[in-house]
Amino acid sequence: MRQPSLTSTASYQALQSHAKDAQQWQMRDLFAQDPQRFERLSSEAAGLFLDYSKNRLDGRTLALLADLARERGAEKLRDAMFNGDKINLTEHRAVLHTALRAPKDKQITVDGQDITADVHGVLARIKAFSDAVRNGQWLGHTGKEITDIVNIGIGGSDLGPKMVCLALRQYAHPRLTMHFVSNVDGHDMDAALSRVNPETTLFIIASKTFTTAETMMNANTARQWFLKHASEAALAKHFVAVSTNVEAIKKFGIDPDNMFPFWDWVGGRYSVWSAIGLPVALCVGYGYFADFLAGAHALDEHFRTAPIEENLPMILALVGFWNREFLGCASVSIAPYHQDLNRFPAYLQQLEMESNGKRVTRAGDTITDYETCPVIWGDVGTNGQHAYFQLLHQGTDVTPMDFIATLRPAHEFQNHHAALLANCFAQSEAFMKGKTADEVRVDLAGQDPAEIERLVPHKTFPGNRPSNTILMEYLTPATLGALIALYEHKTFVQGALWDVNSFDQWGVELGKVLAKKIEAELNGDAQPAQHDGSTNGLIARAKAAV
Ligand code: G6Q
């Protein structure tokens, strides 16, 4: 259904006129004026604490943003998602990653099918299989225990399980080393195969469609490599698949008993909760995998029921929307102050940019008068501080930050943790406060006055740069599950505000088709097509190098 354009709505226009004032605000002043600002502009749910007080907004901004969310039907769309309505309009699919983490007694149906029963049926198989591999009942073809697991998948079939296995490193089985091969670049496969022994390696071929070019090429290479060391009969002990495509799996030669299914209502980038999470269950054990699902479910329940003003994903989405639309911020930097979350920015990059990197509305109209998804990027603190934080503090662009930290470490080095948290909190303080020219002068007092004046502009920080801080007690399977669900739902709400379909990704298709053509040309199976001058030239150079 065609919605009125975002910018024509009364609540958007109210925000626009409010923004004229807010754009002049200094956060230093906002904190000075309201001693309760931190209490007022922070909220907590499912083990996550969100401080959004270091943003250029106030209670009125939030109220206007909440009005906008209501007027744009964000709550209705949320309910439709949980209900299994086919809100992925270009693919005619329901969007039910939330059903993957719902308890057994929650009845959810899609096209008359009780999907909760299906979900829990597959979970039981994941449990049985992961238990068997972990406790040494599942053996390789020569009778040895599995020591290495190689997940072959790309995009949504790689980023989630890889990020989560790294994040839950503390819970990992000591015998199992996890490897993730995603890139069609043979160096990726070569690096993994050079580290594993075919007698003790389990390959998981993870592909929703089982047609993805990179994954199929990697899967075939792994199979050929394995068959150099073992017979066809041995494949069943070393290859399992996660997919929605049973026929393709049989054709590949994987026993359907070794296939873990999922469904078309699970989007790739939302699939870590499905059988795509099999590497997680193998790595940390089914019990912790279940905790991971339960953590996400707790956040789902909060998202489904809490009023907008107290609803963490709604708030995160609205604050991000404000920064994007009214303060002109074109990118958001994610800074986990936790080494084990080092793949989290990459994970969010796909989640948000593939979901909301769109330029037409759900009804297909071209968006011309507002911006959609900002660029998402980042790296762990404190490393980023010694690299690109310079630009964030003193560059010409204002880049909002999300700081993520745990109050307690999972190691014994307390002094490290204090140093880490001190850096995390100091950075958000510095971004907010900045440093005025007068403060710089005080610092430099005693030096040659001409030299002081020469240095002042270089040493001044504009400040007034927005950030959120998300804290949790520990990084556990449950808090990690909640953290991911928080960002999933933030992405959902922003998609609703921008009126884009967050659940397709047609933008990845064009390059795939062209790559097939060029691959055939490079292999000499096809006559070079007439490309543009640059592409023809590059192909010619590559062919000459063979
Ligand atoms: C995610 C995307 C995309 C997808 C990969 C892998 O939402 O759809 O990243 O996950 O292209 O697809 P397959 O799992 O089908 O191989």
Domain ranges across the chain: 14-85+292-390+400-436+467-498, 97-290, 507-545
Question: Would you call 512 a catalytic residue per the annotation?
Answer: yes
- Determine which one of 354, 433, 488, 521 is catalytic: 354
pLDDT digits (tens, 9 = 90+) for 60-75: 999 999 999 999 999 9
pLDDT digits (tens, 9 = 90+) for 242-252: 999 999 999 99
> Contact, 161 vs 151, CB < 8 A?
yes
State the pairing for strand pair 259-261/375-378.
unpaired
At 465, the pLDDT band (50, 70, 90 cuts) reads very high
pLDDT at 265 over 90: yes
Neighbours of 330 (CB within 10 A): 13
Identify the three-state secondary structure at position 228. Answer: coil
14-85+292-390+400-436+467-498 against 97-290: fold identical: yes
Least confident range from 101-115, 121-135, 172-186, 353-367: namely: 101-115
- So what's the pLDDT on residue 157? 98
pLDDT digits (tens, 9 = 90+) for 344-401: 999 999 999 999 999 999 999 999 999 999 999 999 999 999 999 999 999 999 999 9
How far apart are the C-alpha atoms of 218 and 525, rounded to whole Å? 21
Sign of the four-CA dihedral 481, 487, 493, 496? negative
- Determine which one of 76, 104, 251, 512 is catalytic: 512
Residue 241 bridge partners (DSSP): 205, 259
From 154, 215, 244, 352, mutation site for ligand 1 pocket: most ligand atoms within 8 A of C-beta: 154
Q: What is the mean pLDDT of residues 209-221?
A: 96
pLDDT digits (tens, 9 = 90+) for 193-202: 999 999 999 9
330-332-337 Cα angle (round to 5): 165
Name the residue with the closest Cα to ligand 1, atom 16. Answer: 207
Intra-chain end-to-end CA distance of the chain, in Å: 53
Rounded distance from Cα 515 to ligand 1 centre (Å): 17
- So what's the pLDDT on residue 527? 72
pTM: 0.97
CATH of 14-85+292-390+400-436+467-498, one of 3.40.50.10490, 3.10.28.10, 3.40.50.970, 3.90.870.10: 3.40.50.10490
pLDDT at 526 over 90: no
At 82, the pLDDT band (50, 70, 90 cuts) reads very high
Question: Would you call 386 a catalytic residue per the annotation?
Answer: yes
Rounded distance from Cα 324 to ligand 1 centre (Å): 27
How far apart are the C-alpha atoms of 31 and 290, rounded to whole Å? 41
pLDDT at 528 over 80: no
* CATH number for region 97-290: 3.40.50.10490
- So what's the pLDDT on residue 77? 98
Rounded distance from Cα 268 to ligand 1 centre (Å): 5
- So what's the pLDDT on residue 524? 85
How far apart are the C-alpha atoms of 55 and 30, rounded to whole Å? 10
- So what's the pLDDT on residue 427? 98
- So what's the pLDDT on residue 210? 95
State the pairing for strand pair 201-206/148-152.
parallel
The string over 372-381, giving b where at least 16 C-beta atoms fall within 10 Å of a residue's C-beta and e elsewhere, is bbbebbbbbb
253: left (phi over 0), alpha (psi -120 to 50) or beta: left
Q: At what angle do helices 159-167 and 344-356 cross, to 10 degrees?
A: 150
Neighbours of 126 (CB within 10 A): 21
